[in-house]
Amino acid sequence: MNLPLITRADEQGERIAIVTADRRFTYSDLLHVSGQIATQLLNGASDLQEQRVAFLIPSGFEYVATQWGIWRAGGIAVPLCVSHPRPELEYVITDANASIVVAHPSFAALLRPIAEAASIRFILTSELLPAQIAPLPEVDGTRRALILYTSGTTGKPKGVVTTHHNIQAQVTSLITAWGWSPDDRILHVLPLHHIHGIINVLTCALWAGAECHMLSKFDAEAVWDRVAEANLTLFMAVPTIYAKLIAAWEKAAGDRQIALSQACAGLRLMVSGSAALPVQVLERWQTISGHFLLERYGMTEIGMALSNPLEGQRRAGYVGTPLPHVEVRLVDESGVAVPPGTPGEIQVKGPGVFLEYWQKPEATAKAFQDGWFCTGDFAIVEQDCYRILGRISVDIIKTGGYKVSALEIEEALRQHPDIQECAVVGVADQEWGERVCAALVLQADRDLTLEAFRSWAKEYLAVYKVPTRILTIGELPRNAMGKVTKPAVAKLFDS
């Protein structure tokens, strides 16, 4: 049996699949070039038999053709992150035990030495591709397709393995829930080593027979230009990107602001996820674009699990209800389901849930309880909607016998007129168990004393939730996805 993604693309023929800054590529182009790449990867063999192929290619047609080429040759795609330094790339290539590394020429100097040192076959995307496409293997959906490396809060990143069936389930659930159709045109601005960019945007678009417009990297002005020009229908991003787009819009001249806001009206849906969407960002974005962002919750290991509705009421600060074919429950510390109104850990079951952590059977076994994946995220159901309280390991702070949610405190602190951004962490403390601490990025030329801050915060938060230490910093530490790295924030309070 051939992969449905491929057979569906075949039906699209000469319709446009990928649009980059300088070219438009049809589904036929994608099938042809990915067939050539598969032939090159196979190098005379009949099937890669789940060999890992690591690849580092900027966002664009070559990235997609390579990913499809790996799948069509029977390999497992291991996308690398374009902004990672050498040790992190080396770790992924070694941990995945990749047998081939494919690189864009701009990364040759970085990757060739790693490949050579480990005697791994090294291919540049500039190499001439075979003219003839060899017979390609039949790839069954139960085979492993993708390994995405996800950093936990402790230890080295783990490789999350999904099969073609897992990907199909993740994609079809979103296609149904968000009403994807071949008429959609989405602007892709996200990193392509992460589930959000790979599954929610790229693979959903290509599964639906839609157009995926790709920017080689995120740039707020370039995004606004494309929104204004490209007649798009969909946009998906992380909260940091929306914050940057808001800042760029605010800097624009009045007539450009009007034009950009009008261009947003042509889109049918704008989605936010991968980190908590500050209500302020949601509200500001609504004023600018007219869109009430659809917030959803998901994770590399499970795909997307919870979403506000496409039609019907979306609630600010909430992530909605389970997506099609996804079962979600909240449990207490002993694994017993909790009733609505009581916080608990999110557990997820369904065909989209990953197969395993790559070569880590113990970690895989530990991550499941009676067939449910334990996400490590804490949430509560209020009026039938889920509200995310944060990651148990870093966002749920145990202070003076109370359990408090860092996300809830951050949401309150952002209402302070002098606070631009903030990150709340728990720091070990003899007296309190953990002390609530806040790293603050202030508005330009503002100053805030702990005393003034605390007396303001007590108006908004129960006193035990009010941070007892604050630190003013220029910028919050973030990872390649734009998510605040809480362990790095906690370190700031070490001294």
List contacts with ligand AMP (CB under 6 A). Answer: 150, 195, 273-276, 295, 297-300, 319, 375, 377, 388, 391
Side chain identity at 151, as an amino acid letter?
Answer: S
**N- to C-terminal Cα distance for the chain?**
59
Could you tell me the smallest distance in angstroms from the CB atom of residue 276 to ligand AMP?
4
CB of 492 to ligand AMP, least distance (A): 21
Minimal distance, residue 272 CB to ligand AMP, in Å: 7
Neighbours of 182 (CB within 10 A): 12
In the complex, least distance from residue 35 CB atom to ligand AMP, rounded to whole angstroms: 31
> Of 100 and 276, which has the nearer Cβ to ligand AMP?
276
Rounded least distance, CB 133 to ligand AMP, Å = 35
Minimum separation from the CB atom of position 304 to ligand AMP (A): 9
The DSSP symbol for 320 reads B
Nearer to ligand AMP, 130 or 477 (CB): 477
* Amino acid symbol at 204: C
We find the least distance from the C-beta atom of residue 196 to ligand AMP, in angstroms, to be 6
Cβ closest to ligand AMP, residue 90 vs residue 301: 301
H-state helical runs in 330-436 = 361-366, 406-413
Comparing CA positions, the residue from 433, 384, 375 lying closest to residue 404 is: 433
* Residue, CB closest to ligand AMP: 300
Q: How far is CA 419 from CA 242, 251, 396, 415, in A?
A: 18, 19, 22, 7
Tokens of 251: 């800097």
User: How many other C-beta atoms lie within 10 A of the C-beta of residue 220?
Assistant: 17
Nearer of residues 150 and 468 to ligand AMP, judged by Cβ: 150
- In the complex with ligand AMP, the residue whose CB is nearer, 297 or 358, is 297
* Nearest CA among 313, 423, 326 for reference residue 375: 326
Which C-beta is closer to ligand AMP: that of 76 or that of 199? 199
The C-alpha atoms of residue 366 and residue 361 are separated, in whole angstroms, by 9
* Selection from 336, 400, 348, 355 nearest residue 377 by Cα: 348
Helices (H), 305-435: 361-366, 406-413
Q: Minimal distance in Å, beta carbon 220 to ligand AMP?
A: 21
Pairing of strands 76-79, 52-56: parallel
User: Would you say 9 or 484 has its CB closer to ligand AMP?
Assistant: 484
Which is nearer to ligand AMP, 75 or 273 (by Cβ)?
A: 273
Structure tokens at 328: 């979600």
Closest distance to ligand AMP from the beta carbon of 249 (Å): 22
CB closer to ligand AMP, 6 vs 80: 80
> How far, in Å, CA of 270 to CA of 486, rounded?
27
**Shorter beta-carbon distance to ligand AMP: residue 90 or 395:** 395
Shortest distance in whole angstroms from residue 149 CB to ligand AMP: 10
Q: How far apart are CA 61 and CA 318, in angstroms?
A: 35
Phi, psi of 452 (to 5 degrees): -65, -40
How does DSSP classify residue 463?
G
In Å, how far are 395, 408, 434 from 403, measured between CA atoms? 10, 12, 10
